Chains A and B, each alone.
Chain A
Amino acid sequence: MLAEDGCARAGALPQRARSARRPLRPILALLAMVISSFVAPTWGQSARGAREYDLKATFLFHFTHFVEWPEAAFSSADTPFDLCVMSPDPFGGALKEVVAGERAAGRELRVRTVESASGAAGCQIVFVPERRDSALVRELPGVREGFVLTVGEKEDFLDRGGMVRFELRGGRIRLQVSRRALGASQLQVSSKLLAVADME
């Protein structure tokens, strides 16, 4: 629903813009670059250090807004939405803080820290921290069915079958998305999310 709506509107505007003001584009691009050069450092700072995982926690929570899970991903109608973090938990409580009292996909949103792949059964989002092996992804229950959004940090995360990777670049956290992994899953990802992500 959200995705469709967003798609239609996102598609409409730029199209009209391009056709109407093609000659201005270079100027505007330059302008945008100038503005970005002011804005970017501010964000770079915020993404550094402890603030990095605060942001990542927020991002993880926001995935619940831009991705739709099939009903089959949940074992029952009142099953909570599980946001799982493989240990060791790098958020230090920040994630729990972010999702406190929140709901996702119309369900109670829980944060679970899991030790092993098998422990992540029933999770809708699984975060694999830097220190865990990316290969873990393939062992996660529900991944084969395409019910789980896998999010990681390691550089080879997408190559190993992960779907979304947080990449620290230029002091900012960028999203990298694996088109292949997402395409194979049962998840519906909003075009708006894809618009702010780099496709692999």
Chain B
Amino acid sequence: MAATASALLLAGAVLLVAEWLRGRRELVRDLEALAAIVADQTTASVAFQDPGNAQEILRSLHAKEHVAAACIYLLDGRRFAAYAAQRTRLGRCPERVPTAAAAGRPGQRVGAGVAELWRPVVVGDHPEAIVFLRSDLRWLARGLRLQALALVGALLLAALGGFLLSLRLQRIIASPIEELANAATSVRELGDYSVRVEPKSEDEVGQLVDNFNRMLAQIQQRDDALIAAKGALEVRVDERTRALAEELRERRRAEAELERKNRDLEASNRELDDFAYVASHDLKEPLRGIHNYAGFLLEDYQEQLDDAGREKLQTLMRLTGRMESLIDTLLHYSRVGRVDLAMTEVDLSVVVAEMLDSLRPALAQAGAEVRVVTPLPVIRADRARVDEVFRDLVVNGVKYNEAVIPSVEIGALPAGTPAGGELPHPAAGPVFFVRDNGIGIPARHQGVIFDIFKRLHGRDSYGGGTGAGLTIVKKVVERHGGRIWLQSAPAEGTTFFFTLPGPVDVGQNRRTEGG
């Protein structure tokens, strides 16, 4: 607005200056024409010395408003005729010809407020007089002032029009857009999508406002949905976190419980082992005494005793012998649980061969056949214990056997081979087996055969025994980090499977054997 106004003003000023220069040029040209006419018309007046006529002619110049004064001077400088259009200083012709004009040649002098021009009056070939015209440039200024006024008026009108137009534009465009901008700012700064701009018109700006509102509504909708989803998600995450924490706590509790129980179990195991050792060790002493004294009685009082007495003493001796063997077994068992394993490289094929060698007389007596059906590997183990495992299982297989030719097979399966309905861990190493064609074990008894002193048969049937063999086997296997399981059915024989991965630490405060 201000720029336009100043441009207009500048243009107006330039226009005015140009107009002024043009007007002055025009005026001087007009003055020249007038002077030429006057000079021509006054020739006779000058020639025949008729100032009245010259006066008349000069007076006709009053039609030219800018002409302030017009005079005719004779060549000797005297004023011949004069016309004053103005009763001002400009309107008074000089009494004598101005010096510049005296030469009788045409000339002009244009000053700030006045333009003077002179021309000779030529009669025949001779200049006889001088026409002198003077213009009041203020007349030009008056015209210009009018133009300037018109210009200023136009400017004011234009400014007014512009102002009104801008007011209207303000109402139509600027103010809705300003509201839009404000709304956008509040949305950006406050995140408040509920802001709406009131549409004021049906035109493009109105549509813009409508679209803005619609867009805001959509954003708000999505924002709400997002917030709701976020809330739901947070609730779910919270729930899940709580559940997980609960689970974790539960698991820790369970682990702690397990550990505690484990510790308890270990402690009680240890106590049991210690107790068994102490008990059996300390019990053996008096038992030996009882046995010995029973023998002494039987030998020394043979004559005094009747058959019934002798028999009773013999039973006493048998029972004490049995008890000793039980205690020995118990000692042995507890030793297996207590004593550290002597781990070495053990070639099982050698171990088994030597073991079979030592059993050969017994086996031959039973007419049994024992075969090693697969190559046996070299493992790290306690040689004596492993020997015991194979020996016990072979002996059991031959012992609990009613076949014509009792048969036992020893072998090893590759690590991880499914066997006996179980899938051993590959890391547990080869799966060993000892298979017999014995009497088999009914399914209902398979769970208890590893219990100590558990015998499924009469005390003296199948060669008797303490019923601790499988218990010790299991213990040895477990101390080697392995598992033992079986597959069996009555009359079909039994197959024991076991693994021997490596030693298992059974506790720190283990008492070494002795004492």
Residues in A lying within 8 Å of B, measured CB to CB: 5-6, 9-10, 13-14, 16-17, 20-21, 24, 28, 31-32, 35-36, 39-40, 42-43, 47, 55, 58-59, 61-62, 64-66, 102, 172-175, 190, 192-193, 195-197
Contact = CB atoms under 8 A, between A and B. Distances in A.
Interface centre among A9, A24, A190, A195 (most CB of B within 10 A): A195
Nearest to A102: B124
Given A9-B40, A196-B45, A64 B60 contact: no
Nearest to B55: A32
A17 B41 contact: no
A75 B381 CA distance: 178
9 contacts: A16-B63, A21-B62, A31-B84, A32-B56, A36-B52, A58-B47, A65-B47, A173-B49, A193-B44
Given A59-B47, A62-B47, A17 B59 contact: yes
A31 B78 CA distance: 19
A32 B59 contact: yes
B50 A196 contact: yes
B53 interface: yes
Give chain B's interface secondary structure class. Answer: helix
A9 B37 contact: yes
A162 to B, nearest CB: 17
B44 A66 contact: yes
B81 interface: yes
Nearest to A17: B60
A106 to B, nearest CB: 12
Interface in B66-81: 78-81
A3 to B, nearest CB: 11
B63 A17 contact: yes
B49 to A, nearest CB: 6
Given A32-B56, A65-B123, A21 B63 contact: yes
A43 B76 CA distance: 14
Contacts of A20: 62-63
B57 interface: yes
B41 A39 contact: no
Give chain A's interface secondary structure class. Answer: helix
Given A39-B79, A62-B123, A193 B48 contact: yes
A13 B78 CA distance: 26
B62 A42 contact: no
A39 B47 contact: no
A39 B48 contact: no
Nearest to A166: B48
A102 B78 CA distance: 25
Contacts of A62: 47-48, 123-124
Given A39-B79, A62-B47, A64-B124, 7 more contacts: A9-B37, A20-B63, A39-B81, A42-B78, A58-B47, A66-B47, A193-B44
B416 interface: no
Contacts, number: 95
A14 B49 CA distance: 20
Interface residues of B, number: 30
B41 A6 contact: yes
Nearest to A194: B44
A195 B53 contact: yes
Nearest to B44: A192
B44 A196 contact: yes
B63 A59 contact: no
B43 interface: yes
A102 B124 CA distance: 9
A36 B45 CA distance: 14
B126 to A, nearest CB: 9
Contact of B55 (A36, A173, A192): A36
A102 B125 CA distance: 9
B209 interface: no
B136 to A, nearest CB: 16
Contacts of A5: 40
Given A36-B51, A43-B51, A6 B63 contact: no
A22 to B, nearest CB: 11
Nearest to B78: A42
Given A20-B63, A43-B49, A195-B44, A13 B79 contact: no
Nearest to A59: B48
B137 interface: no
A175 B52 CA distance: 13
A35 B82 contact: yes
Interface in B14-70: 37, 40-41, 43-45, 47-53, 55-57, 59-63
Contacts of B49: 43, 47, 55, 59, 172-173
Nearest to A192: B44
B509 to A, nearest CB: 146
Contacts of A55: 49
